[in-house]
Structure formats: C-alpha cells, structure tokens
C-alpha cells in the first residue's frame, strides 16, 4: 500500500512539474524575450485556459501527501516553513499577474502585472529546483547537536541559508551552493520547456527566435547537468546503488538524456510539438532518476542519530490507505475525462483565444 501511494504521489508531482512547469517557463520567456504586445499576447493565450488547472496538481499532490504520508507532510512543511510560505506568495503574484492584467487597459497597470507574472514565474522555477536539491541533500532531522536531538526524530527547521552556504555544514540552510545549482538547472530547464510550449501552441513571430534560444540554452543545461552529477558524489557517496541493484531503473536516466540530446535538434523539427515532447521527457526522466536514486528514502537524514524518513516509517495506517484507493481511482478517471475535454476544446494553436480580454 505504501508503495502504491508513493508511486501515485510521485506521478502527481511529475505531472505537476511538466504541466505547471510550462507555465513557469512561459512566464520566464515573457519576462526576458517578449518585447512586443503581440509576443506577450501569444504567451498568455498559450497558457491562459490551462494554468489554473495545472496548479491544482500541486494542491492535489499536497492533499495526497497529507493523507498518505501525514508525518512527512507535517515534518517537511514545518521544516521548510519559510520557502513554502514564499512559494505561496509567489503563486499568488503569478495568478493575479495573469488574471488582472487584462482588467484595465493602461500601460502602467499592464507593466506592473507583466513583471509580477514574469518575476514570480522565474523565482518559482528557482525555488522548485532548490526544493529538489534539499530533498536530495537531506536535512538535520531532529535538529541534532553533538549527538543529541532537540526535537522528535522527524522534525527539523531550516533557515533560508547558513553563512557558509555549504551543503556539508552541520547546520544547513535551504540555499547552499548545491541546491542553488539545482535551482539554476530548474530555471533553464523550465525556460526551455515553456518556450517549447509556446512554439507548440502558437504561430507567434517569436517562435523562430525561441528555437535558437532553446538551442543555446540547451548547451548550458547539458553542462550544468553534468556538473551536478559530479557534485552529487560529494552529497551522496553512492548515488547509483539502487541502479546497480535494479538495473531496469537505468531507463530513467536514459530518458533524461534522450530528452536533453533531442532538444539540440529543435531548429529542424517538422512538428511544433516535438520540442515540447523532448523537454517533457527531460523533466520526467530527471525527476524519476532522482527519485529512483534515493528510494525508498523520502527525506534523508544528515546526522547519524536519527534515521532517514522513508515511505515505510512515514505512511498512514493501512485501513485508510486501502479505502483511499477506491475513491482515488474514481477521481483519477474523472480527472482524465476533464483534461481530455479541456485539451480537446482548446486544441491546436491558440493565437485567437483572447485570454484576459474583457
């Protein structure tokens, strides 16, 4: 049962990153590369009818985390208190930036909400990358000093940073040079992903420019991914032991690199959706490879006093988990129906949706 809900949770989070990821990416493209009103319109039209439903995957995943792994939910949400609340604030700015921009036709008003939308998207991509870094690196569970826990073994609290910015310090911070590296990877990967979505959903004049931007950014992404793999060894001495034990897991890293190398061909794809497919493969592979490498850990412990949080010591009681399967299957079928309808109605190019016009 734990394994089932673990897979469900990871699937939901992956879907969230792929779906809301293109919204964040579109926001970053909007911030840096959209110069004309026409470019901006193309971008907001491409994500307008979708972003809200995409964000629901985060909330629903949060709900499933709460229900299936309540102890993990409690420990990690309170431990990562400040960045989580800041993510909430950024989500608010992203949403009102998108929704309120078109309400008043005035240059200053539009500029304010354009920037709110763009900057919030950029910071969200950065924060989610940093979050992944924190999960890989682990935290000081129980807040141990000199072998003595200050709290129950699964609770912790992380400040935003410690003065050394080192992932090997005894008292860690959210932001250190390892997590910030993953944050930057997140920003670049989602920028590429969002640009691919815009190419896929619009006939914008921006598209050809975006293709060459994706091509250039992809070199940076490749370099950083390789760099992070080297650094990974410092954080986790045996990052491959799950892969050695269960060789079929290699499929995930292979998917990652298929996506990554496929993106170099972005300028010659015949179909506009191909780029989006490859960046989705990269995100999917990246997350699943990371998860596969730390399984069954959910949050590693950086001290030797308290054990890692794993799917086995964090799960809710089995009656609740089994009964949840019933309603969850019904719900997933319904969600699939909603999404099919939604993407059918808004299929193809969306230059004329008129999102946000009143």
Partner 1 sequence: MKKEAFFYVFQGDLIFCAVFLLGIKPTPMEDMLFYDRMQFAFTITFHYLFPQLTMGLSLMIVWFKWKFLRTQIENYNEAAKFWMKIFAINFAMGVVTGIPMEFQFGTNWAKFSELTGGIIGQTLAMEGMFSFFLESSFLGLFLFGEKLLGHKLHFITGFLVFLGSWASGYLIIATHSWMQHPVGYEILENGKFVLNNFGALFSNPWLLPSYLHNQLASIITAAFVVSAVGAFYLLNNKHSDFGKLFLKTGVIFGLFSSVLVAFPTGDLVAKNVVKHQPVTFAAMEGIFETEEGGSEIVLIGQPNILEKKLDNKIAVPNILSFLTYQEWDAEIKGLNEFEPNTYPTNIPGLYYAYHIMVGLGTIFIGLMFLAAIQLFRKKLFTTKWILWALLFMVPFPYIANTTGWYTAELGRQPWLVYNLLRTSEGISPTVSSGNTLFTLLGFIGLYLLLGLLFLILVGKIIYKGPQTIKH
User: Binding partner 1 by CB under 8 A: which of 32, 36, 89, 265?
Assistant: 89
254 makes contact with partner 1 (CB under 8 A): no
E strand spans, the chain: 144-145, 148-149, 297-299, 309-310
User: Binding partner 1 by CB under 8 A: which of 2, 29, 44, 76?
Assistant: 76
Pairing of strands 148-149, 297-299: unpaired
User: Binding partner 1 by CB under 8 A: which of 240, 243, 250, 328?
Assistant: 328
**Nearest to partner 1 of 154, 211 (CB atom):** 154
100 makes contact with partner 1 (CB under 8 A): yes
358 makes contact with partner 1 (CB under 8 A): yes
H helix runs in 33-106, sequence order: 37-47, 51-68, 70-79, 81-100
Nearest to 43 by CA among 254, 191, 231, 224: 191
Scanning 36-44, 61-69, 167-175, 216-224 for contacts with partner 1 by CB under 8 A, the matching segment is 61-69
d(CA 80, CA 77) in angstroms, rounded, equals 5
Please tell me what DSSP assigns to residue 295.
Answer: T
d(CA 300, CA 309) in angstroms, rounded, equals 6
Partnered with residue 309 across adjacent β-strands are: 299
Residue pair 107/115 in contact by the 8 Å Cβ criterion: no
Scanning 26-34, 151-159, 170-178, 290-298 for contacts with partner 1 by CB under 8 A, the matching segment is 151-159
As measured in angstroms, the least distance from the Cβ of 40 to partner 1 is 18
Residue pair 291/10 in contact by the 8 Å Cβ criterion: yes
The residues of the shown chain that bind partner 1, judged by CB under 8 A, are 48-50, 52-53, 55-56, 58-60, 62-64, 66-68, 70-71, 73-79, 81-82, 84-85, 88-89, 91-92, 95-96, 99-100, 103-104, 143, 151-152, 155-157, 316-317, 319-320, 323-324, 327-328, 331-332, 334-335, 338-339, 341-342, 345-346, 353-355, 358
């Amino acid at each position: 049962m734990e394994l089932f809900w673990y897979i469900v949770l990871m699937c939901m989070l992956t879907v969230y990153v792929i779906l809301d990821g293109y919204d964040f990416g579109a926001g970053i493209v909007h911030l840096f590369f959209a110069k004309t009103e026409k470019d901006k319109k193309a971008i907001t039209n491409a994500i307008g009818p979708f972003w809200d439903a995409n964000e629901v995957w985060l909330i629903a995943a949060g709900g499933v985390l709460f229900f299936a792994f309540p102890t993990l939910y409690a420990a990690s949400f309170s431990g990562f208190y400040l960045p989580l609340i800041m993510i909430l604030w950024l989500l608010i700015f992203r949403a009102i930036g998108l929704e309120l921009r078109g309400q008043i036709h005035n240059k200053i008003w539009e500029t304010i909400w354009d920037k709110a939308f763009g900057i919030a998207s950029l910071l969200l991509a950065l924060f989610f990358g940093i979050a992944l870094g924190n999960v890989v690196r682990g935290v000081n569970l129980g807040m141990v000093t000199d072998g003595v826990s200050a709290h129950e073994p699964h609770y912790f609290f992380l400040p935003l940073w410690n003065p050394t910015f080192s992932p090997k310090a005894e008292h860690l911070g959210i932001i250190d040079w390892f997590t910030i590296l993953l944050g930057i990877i997140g920003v670049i990967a989602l920028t590429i992903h969002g640009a691919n979505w815009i190419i896929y959903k619009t006939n914008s004049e921006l598209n050809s420019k975006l293709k060459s931007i994706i091509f250039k950014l992809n070199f940076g992404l490749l370099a950083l991914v390789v760099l992070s793999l080297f650094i990974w060894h410092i954080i986790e001495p045996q990052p491959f032991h799950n892969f050695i034990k269960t060789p079929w897991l290699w499929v995930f890293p292979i998917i990652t690199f298929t996506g990554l190398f496929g993106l170099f061909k972005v300028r010659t794809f015949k179909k506009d959706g191909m780029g989006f497919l490859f960046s989705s493969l990269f995100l999917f592979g990246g997350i699943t490879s990371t998860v596969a490498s730390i399984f069954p850990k959910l949050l590693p412990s950086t001290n030797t006093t308290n054990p890692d949080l794993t799917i086995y010591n964090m799960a809710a009681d089995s009656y609740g988990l089994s009964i949840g399967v019933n309603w969850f299957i019904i719900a997933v079928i319904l969600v699939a129906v909603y999404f099919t309808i939604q993407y059918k109605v808004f299929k193809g190019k969306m230059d004329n949706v008129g999102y946000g016009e009143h």
